[in-house]
Amino acid sequence: MRVSVGYSENPDVAAAAREAIADAMEKGDASRPCDVALLFSTSRHDPALLGEAVAAGIGGAPRIVGGGAIGAMSNDRFGYAGDQVGLAMFWLSGDASCDIVAQDGMKEDERKAGVELGRKLRKLGTGPDTPVMLFYDAIDATGPKVRLLMATPLLAGLRDGLGFLPNLVGAGLMGDYSCTPIRQWNGAGLAEYNAVALKFGGGVRLDSAILRGCRPATGYYTVTRAEGQVILEINGEPALTFLHKLIGPAIPPEEYGFFLILGINHGEKWGQFNEENYAGRLCLGIDRERNGIVMFEPDMVAGTVFQIMYRSLDPDFVEPKMEALFAGLEGRKPAFAFFIDCAGRAAGYAGVDIEDAAIIQKIVAGRVPFLGIYSGVEIAPVLGEPRPLDWTGVFCLFSEPA
């Protein structure tokens, strides 16, 4: 399997497609069209025009998968909240394979869409160790208020339809910080409200590491009442009242959105801290009328035990985890690196001076073609179980037999 990556920040959609393709083709296989392409762009580019321009530039009948991203990264460039386009072109060889399945209906019922997608993956012979990438449209703007589509019911349905969850990483796709509606490329054309899975086979392996940069700031507390995405009570008290007493007046509740992170420890409760055991949950906003907090996912139900996390953003913890992935290849050949980064971690948005992209670029260097995106939701295995994550970076390393 050969992969090459292209990048552009040209505001002209046709020129951006040409630049990204030309960038990728410098290290690609000019002898034939690629078999699969991953394509991501911000909402500033018209997805229909961009997809058509990329397909025409690649030639053949490429299967294009992707959609909105708040920004993109390559081996030597990155950016967000602008005109970024990221492209990865795959040439499959030997036994390497990539099957693409898509399912619509995310807007109507995420769980049902997951069930149908799981059934399609089951028909393809997907196993527990099969590498799978999952991308879904995270924004529903058809109602009076923008609604986030949920990974929790999607994954629950996927488990029901497939019988288990495979070795899966993925992202909820957004095109900008304003939640502008986006469309997706689902392998067969342009679509809306889809969940799309890429199933790799033929010796292709996927290893991943969670690069969160958060640590517990408190002891454990318990959700005692919740409705959907809204946590209404914590430790028997109204959620806002409880948190305001705990956090103090320095951070008013109106600022909890995109700031407050709750961590769910799926490992040993009182063991040594290991961020690989944590699923982070980011607060989306507050429900002042019901004295509650609104979360990105609806899985913090009554009985959920959590801690409040603080953002450490220590770059020193990243390199050992990534180097461990490369060392664990044990003679296999690295073929492609993919990074899914929470858009809230971008330095310009988070108000910090450390860019995840720059750290990853430095560590990857020229060892493997690299594409990254800034996403709304990240999905990666926590203790072997794929889970939706927030305020997280997920580094994915694809390899094949040497």
Last residue of a domain, one of 284, 311, 338: 311
- The pLDDT score that the predictor gives to residue 313 is 59
Is there a single domain that holds both residue 160 and residue 111? yes
Is there a single domain that holds both residue 300 and residue 195? no
Last residue of a domain, one of 286, 311, 336: 311
How many Å apart are CA 57 and CA 30, to the nearest integer? 12
Q: How does residue 362 score in pLDDT terms, banded at 50, 70 and 90?
A: very high
- The pLDDT score that the predictor gives to residue 218 is 95
SS3 of 114, please? helix
Is there a single domain that holds both residue 101 and residue 224? no
Tally of domains in the chain: 2
The stretches of 38-131 forming alpha helices (DSSP H) are 47-58, 110-123
Q: How does residue 76 score in pLDDT terms, banded at 50, 70 and 90?
A: very high
SS3 of 334, please? strand
* Structure tokens belonging to residue 222: 């318990």
Please count the residues of the chain.
402
Is there a single domain that holds both residue 325 and residue 272? no
- The pLDDT score that the predictor gives to residue 259 is 87
**pLDDT cut 70: percent of the chain above it:** 99
* Average pLDDT over every residue of 237-241: 97
Contacts 24+ apart (CB under 8 A), 252-260: 253/286, 253/288, 253/293, 254/286, 256/283, 256/285, 256/286, 256/293, 257/283, 257/284, 257/285, 257/286, 257/294, 258/282, 258/283, 258/284, 258/344, 259/283, 260/293, 260/308
- The pLDDT score that the predictor gives to residue 172 is 97
Is there a single domain that holds both residue 151 and residue 266? no
| Single pTM value for the model | 0.93
Is there a single domain that holds both residue 248 and residue 321? no
How many Å apart are CA 219 and CA 32, to the nearest integer? 57
Nearest to residue 396, comparing CAs of 134, 137, 193?
A: 134
Angle at 232 between CA 229 and CA 235, to 5 degrees: 125
Is there a single domain that holds both residue 191 and residue 178? yes
CATH number for the domain that contains residue 269: 2.40.30
- The pLDDT score that the predictor gives to residue 213 is 72
> Is there a contact between 379 and 387 (Cβ–Cβ < 8 Å)?
yes
> Is there a contact between 120 and 103 (Cβ–Cβ < 8 Å)?
yes
> Is there a contact between 130 and 83 (Cβ–Cβ < 8 Å)?
no
Domain holding 247, by residue range, is 215-311
- Number of helices and strands (H, E) in the chain? 8, 28
How many Å apart are CA 147 and CA 296, to the nearest integer? 10
For 368-399, give one letter per residue: b (16+ CB within 10 A) or e: bbbbbbbbbbbbbbbeeebbbbbbbbbbbbbb
* Average pLDDT over every residue of 292-309: 95
Q: What residue has token string 């560590």?
A: 363
Q: How far is CA 97 from CA 298, 332, 376, 400, in A?
A: 35, 17, 28, 11
Q: How does residue 353 score in pLDDT terms, banded at 50, 70 and 90?
A: confident
* Average pLDDT over every residue of 254-264: 92
Is there a single domain that holds both residue 344 and residue 248? no
**pLDDT tens per residue, range 35-52:** 999 999 999 999 999 999
Q: How does residue 394 score in pLDDT terms, banded at 50, 70 and 90?
A: very high
Is there a single domain that holds both residue 167 and residue 227? no
How many Å apart are CA 336 and CA 37, to the nearest integer? 13
- The pLDDT score that the predictor gives to residue 45 is 98
Whole-number average pLDDT of the chain: 94
Q: Is the pLDDT of residue 74 over 90?
A: yes
Check residues 311 and 161 and name the one with the higher pLDDT: 161
Q: How does residue 201 score in pLDDT terms, banded at 50, 70 and 90?
A: very high
Is there a single domain that holds both residue 354 and residue 248? no
* Structure tokens belonging to residue 151: 């990974």
Is there a single domain that holds both residue 6 and residue 152? yes
Last residue of a domain, one of 250, 285, 311: 311
Is there a single domain that holds both residue 174 and residue 300? no
**pLDDT tens per residue, range 5-25:** 999 999 999 999 999 999 999
**pLDDT tens per residue, range 313-350:** 567 788 999 999 999 999 999 999 999 999 988 999 87
Check residues 272 and 130 and name the one with the higher pLDDT: 130
Lowest average pLDDT, out of 22-26, 180-184, 309-313, 373-377, goes to 309-313
